[in-house]
Amino acid sequence: MHLDNVLFQAIKHKLCQLSCRAISVPDHTTPKTSESGSIICVSDLVQPAGGCGRSTLRKPNTPQAPHKTDRCRLLNFSRRYRSLPIFPPSQHQFSETVVQTNSLPCPSCRSSVSCSSVHFSFHPPYPYQKHHTNMASKPSILHLGDPPRWHADLYSKLTTHFNVITPTAAERERPEFLKALKEKRWGNFIAIMRPFWNTGGEGGRVDREMISLFPEGVKVYASAGAGFDWVDTDILAERGIVYCNGAAASSDSVADSALFLIISTFRNLAWSQMAARSGNPDELFDAHKNSPTTAINPGGRILGIVGLGNIGYRIAQKAYLGLNMKIAYHDLFRKPKAVEEAVGATYYDTLDEMLGAADCIIVATPFSGKQLFTAVKFKKFKRGSRLTNIARGPLVNEADLVEALKSGQLSACGLDVFENEPHVNKELCGLKQATLTAHTAGGTIDTHIGFEELCYKNTLGALLEGKAITPVNLHLIKAGKSKL
């Protein structure tokens, strides 16, 4: 179907949302268009205020047919591209900006009416190209969130092999998303990808209710983000669907932030920073004089890592090589000897045993629904040791943590995540032993670029080669049940 027909149907759908039941597309007008990436801009959409209340609704080169309407509308649009696949109008996204006001004759009665010229942007589901093969012959994948930013080459490969469907922001909201799945609005897609963490998650938790509505053929769900507490990976596994996260893309950024928190807890940097920011000379002098009396260097101290996955291991490497710390770890699965030796790591069978030996604990394990650090566990810590958390806030009971800090059981803490985000425990905020950051451990452009790349590569690898790069629930999928 030609793009003029695609645009006609899509823009007609939009205008209906704007309470206009008919539009006119006269032949004598000259399209004014601009193109950038996946956006086709249409100008000279005029919104008359007045006139006869009649206008014509027709496609280009078809006879005019009069229709009643609330107000006249005149639309010019581009005909530059041909032979493009059609998408349901609900899959297109629009934005509009009024740029000028003038007078034009009503298309029907020719009386002078006040009009607003509007810059109208049309966002197709994925970057249009001049020539496409028959999209109906390709398997479909669902792309949740923003269009591609940094990896056009990988996205082009996806569109070569698959029909990429991009729901609108409104369709990604949970009620509409579930409704669309029930209606099979997007057909029998075989994969879901969410390449950016800031968009694509509007549907909320990926739980049994949502997963039960996925088409039977879905094989993989690839997403940005290191954590996956927002998705029930075990229920995906029941369906044989592989879930892939983006932890490998954020490992360096998170590990760097972890080192900052570790150093801060050893050197009393939160106390020093709070005093300097207070602007109070007495507080600054107090921190300058007294904070060094309890500060120590991390070199030679034992860092206990809870969870030696991609991020945990990167922290181990940097702490071992950069800070000369001794590495201890507890994990569900012990790492190979060569992996341990590379960072001088000692494995502890039980968490309690490691808590009693470490000078600082760093939490780098996924949240499985159970709070890990409570008053009972804080009693197991080596007295005067430290807790840092770059994993998930609900792993730590903050009220119990405050009590452990006040009693001296713990000398300091460093948190990038919080139990009830976006709310932070008020008592923690006032403690000079607490270094707090705003869940930004992985927050770098490098991470977001990596998230997008890994999401596309996971999708391509799973669908074209039968092997994903960073699967997290393969161990939960019963033998022979994986769809890859």
Is residue 112 situated within a structural domain? no
Same domain, 398 and 456: no
Which of 238, 202, 204, 206 is closest to 222 using CA atoms?
Answer: 206
Same domain, 257 and 310: yes
Is residue 378 situated within a structural domain? yes
Is residue 105 situated within a structural domain? no
Same domain, 225 and 359: no
pTM for the predicted model, two decimal places: 0.68
Same domain, 232 and 295: no
The reported pLDDT for the residue numbered 136 is 54
Same domain, 279 and 393: yes
Same domain, 210 and 341: no
Same domain, 291 and 159: no
The DSSP result for 80-148, as a single string, is ---S-----GGG-EEEEEEEEEEEEE-TTT--EEEEEEEEEEEE-SS---S----GGGS-EEEE-SSPP
Is residue 78 situated within a structural domain? no
Identify the three-state secondary structure at position 192: strand
Is residue 48 situated within a structural domain? no
Identify the three-state secondary structure at position 17: helix
Residues 6+ apart with CB under 8 A from 296: 266, 267
Instruction: Output b/e per residue, 442-460; b: 16+ Cβ within 10 A.
Output: bbbeebbebbbbbbbbbbb
Which of 247, 234, 161, 238 is closest to 197 using CA atoms?
Answer: 247
Chain centre distance of CA 422:
17
The reported pLDDT for the residue numbered 215 is 97
Distance CA(219)–CA(140), nearest Å, equals: 12
Residues 6+ apart with CB under 8 A from 190: 139, 140, 141, 215, 217, 218, 219, 463
- Write out the chain's pLDDT in tens, 484 residues: 344 444 445 554 444 444 333 333 333 333 333 333 333 333 333 333 333 333 333 333 333 333 333 233 333 333 222 223 333 334 444 444 433 444 444 444 445 444 443 334 444 444 433 333 344 579 999 999 999 999 999 999 999 999 999 999 999 999 999 999 999 999 999 999 999 999 999 999 999 999 999 999 999 999 998 888 889 999 999 999 999 999 889 999 999 999 999 999 999 999 999 999 999 999 999 999 999 999 999 999 999 999 999 899 999 999 999 999 999 999 999 999 999 999 999 999 999 999 999 999 999 998 878 899 999 999 999 999 999 999 999 999 999 999 999 999 999 999 999 999 999 999 999 999 999 999 999 999 999 999 999 999 999 999 999 999 999 999 999 877 788 8
Same domain, 268 and 146: no
Is residue 261 situated within a structural domain? yes
One-letter amino acid at 23 equals I
Same domain, 376 and 273: yes
Domain of 282, in residue numbers:
251-436
Distance CA(479)–CA(481), nearest Å, equals: 6
Tell me the CATH number at 230.
3.40.50.720
Same domain, 242 and 370: no
Is residue 425 situated within a structural domain? yes
Which of 430, 304, 308, 321 is closest to 360 using CA atoms?
Answer: 304
Distance CA(407)–CA(431), nearest Å, equals: 13
Is residue 231 situated within a structural domain? yes
Residue 72 has a CB neighbour count (10 Å cut-off) of 28
Counting the structural domains of the chain, the total is 2
Residue 40 has a CB neighbour count (10 Å cut-off) of 22
Runs of H (alpha helix) within 281-336: 281-290, 310-322
Residue 193 has a CB neighbour count (10 Å cut-off) of 25
Q: Which two tokens stand for residue 343?
A: 């960072």
Same domain, 426 and 280: yes
Chain centre distance of CA 59:
40
The reported pLDDT for the residue numbered 390 is 97
Helices (H) and strands (E) in the chain, counts: 16, 18
Same domain, 281 and 427: yes
